[in-house]
């Protein structure tokens, strides 16, 4: 089979080597399309391929229509909001992710972001410590649970909420369960967001939740830009001069936010949560193994568009 690794934001070279090794040893051929400038370049490249390995690359119906042999797309990572799952299903294309494989990298970045904001973005002046502060983890999946564990080890109190995990289970996993999302925001000095972007969650975090946070609180978002209601965030930061926002997903209104709120807001220049060689290796190699297994045995364990 012909496999394309299409990564606008490339994997570390060592991960690409590993992907190629797994797939060529399984009898497949592998090409790469990295750092492509426009979506059209992706669309124009896919025609010969049976399988794609992607990251946040957008697999639209147009991409799939341009690849008549396409049988499987594996998102090396967790979120699949960049893939048109319904269109893939209609075309009989299997879509998988590689859950958990890049979670540690994202969790470490969340901890780093909390410390960075607590220490005034490493500029001179008196900062504060995260030890003793309360962290709210919004969604207790692979990343959220790791953030909770690491935060606890650093002396934070951890509260969590998850629409799919009952309170008893959250308590068993070592966090204080919040009654609901509102309770989490009201109770925590930091809230770290780990929800996917879905029709239900898009713009779900806005003025009301943000202004319900305690004095001096900081919202941390390494999940998705779309889950934030950016106008609501701007209004909340305007009204509450004590609140802060740090994110790995640059908001559309970042220029305005920076101008108005200066160091109370920070966004990484390019999404970097999963950008470690370890995470690239874990997620990239898992994707390659899943494709090799799919073609060898029909295994669809990680399919997300059934
Ligand atoms: C994910 O959903 O796995 C993360 O957001 C990482 O995305 P990336 O592979 O584009 O860095």
pLDDT of residue 185: 99
| Spatial distance between the Cα atoms of 299 and 251, rounded to a whole number of angstroms | 38
The pLDDT score that the predictor gives to residue 60 is: 98
Please say whether the dihedral angle defined by the alpha carbons of residues 250, 252, 255 and 260, taken in this order, is positive or negative. negative
Out of 79, 80, 198, 304, mutate this one to test ligand 1's pocket (max ligand atoms within 8 Å of CB): namely: 79
The protein residue with its alpha carbon nearest to ligand 1, atom 6, reads 274
Is 2-101+275-297's fold the same as 103-267's? yes
What strand order describes the sheet that includes 94-97? 29-34, 2-7, 51-54, 72-75, 94-97
- The reported pLDDT for the residue numbered 76 is 98
2-101+275-297 belongs to which homologous superfamily?
Answer: NAD(P)-binding Rossmann-like Domain (3.40.50.720)
What secondary structure, in 3-state letters, does 249-304 show?
CCCCCHHHHHHHHHHHEEECCCCCCCCCHHHHHHHHHHHHHHHHHHHHHCCCCCEC
Distance 127 CA to ligand 1 centre (A): 31
Task: Supply the pLDDT for residue 21.
Answer: 98
Q: Which atom of ligand 1 is nearest to the CA of 275?
A: 11
193-219 pLDDT per residue, tens: 999 999 999 999 999 999 999 999 999
User: What is the assigned CATH class of domain 103-267?
Assistant: alpha beta
Task: Please give the structure tokens belonging to residue 93.
Answer: 């294309």
For the CA of 56, the nearest atom of ligand 1: 10
Taking the CA of residue 79 as reference, the ligand 1 atom at the shortest distance is 2
Tokens at 102, concatenated = 């890049």
Angle between the N-to-C axes of helices 254-261 and 230-239, in degrees from 0 to 180, rounded to the nearest 10: 0
Give the pLDDT confidence score for residue 178 in this predicted structure: 98
Q: Could you report the per-residue pLDDT of 86-144, keeping only the tens digit for each?
A: 999 999 999 999 999 999 999 999 999 999 999 999 999 999 999 999 999 999 999 99
Return the residue whose CA atom lies nearest to atom 11 of ligand 1. Answer: 274
| Average pLDDT per block of 10 residues along the chain, 306 residues long | 98 98 98 98 98 98 98 98 98 98 98 98 97 98 98 98 98 98 98 98 98 98 98 98 98 97 97 98 98 98 98
Per the confidence metrics, is the pTM higher than 0.85? Answer: yes
pLDDT for position 93: 99
Indicate the domain borders of the chain. 2-101+275-297, 103-267
pLDDT of residue 175: 98
> What radius of gyration do the chain's Cα atoms show?
20
Residue from 246, 235, 283, 293 nearest 9 by CA:
283
Residue of 191, 261, 190, 199 lying closest to 226 (CA atoms) = 199
Residues 6 or more apart whose CB falls under 8 angstroms from that of 192 comprise: 110, 114, 135, 136, 137, 138, 144, 147, 220, 221, 222
The pLDDT, as a whole number, for residue 16 is 98
Classify each residue of 251-272 as buried b or exposed e, where b means 16 or more C-beta atoms within 10 Å of its C-beta: bebbeebeeebeebbbbbeebe
């Amino acid at each position: 089979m012909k496999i394309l690794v299409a990564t606008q934001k490339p994997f570390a070279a060592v991960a690409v080597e590993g992907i190629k090794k797994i797939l060529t040893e399984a009898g497949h051929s592998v090409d790469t399309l990295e750092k492509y400038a426009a979506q059209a370049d992706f669309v124009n490249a896919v025609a010969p391929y049976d399988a794609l390995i992607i990251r946040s690359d957008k697999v639209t119906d147009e991409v799939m229509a341009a690849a008549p042999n396409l049988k499987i797309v594996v998102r090396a990572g967790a979120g699949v909001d960049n893939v048109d799952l319904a269109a893939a299903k209609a075309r009989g294309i299997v879509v998988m992710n590689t859950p958990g494989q890049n979670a540690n990298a994202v969790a470490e970045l969340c901890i780093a972001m909390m410390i960075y904001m607590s220490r005034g973005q490493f500029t001179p002046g008196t900062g504060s410590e995260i030890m003793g502060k309360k962290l709210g983890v919004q969604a207790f999946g692979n990343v959220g649970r790791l953030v909770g564990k690491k935060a606890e080890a650093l002396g934070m109190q951890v509260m969590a909420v998850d629409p799919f995990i009952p309170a008893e289970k959250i308590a068993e996993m070592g966090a204080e369960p919040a009654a609901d999302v509102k309770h989490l925001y009201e109770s925590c000095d930091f809230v770290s967001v780990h929800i996917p972007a879905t029709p239900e969650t898009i713009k779900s975090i806005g003025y009301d939740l943000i202004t319900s946070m305690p004095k001096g609180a900081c919202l941390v978002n390494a999940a998705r830009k779309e889950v934030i209601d950016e106008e609501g965030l701007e209004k909340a930061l305007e009204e509450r001069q004590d609140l802060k926002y740090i994110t790995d997903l640059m908001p559309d209104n970042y220029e305005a936010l920076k101008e108005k709120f200066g160091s109370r807001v920070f966004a990484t220049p390019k999404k970097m949560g999963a950008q470690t060689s370890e995470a690239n290796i874990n997620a990239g190699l898992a994707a390659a193994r899943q494709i090799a297994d799919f073609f060898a045995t029909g295994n669809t364990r990680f399919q997300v568009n059934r």
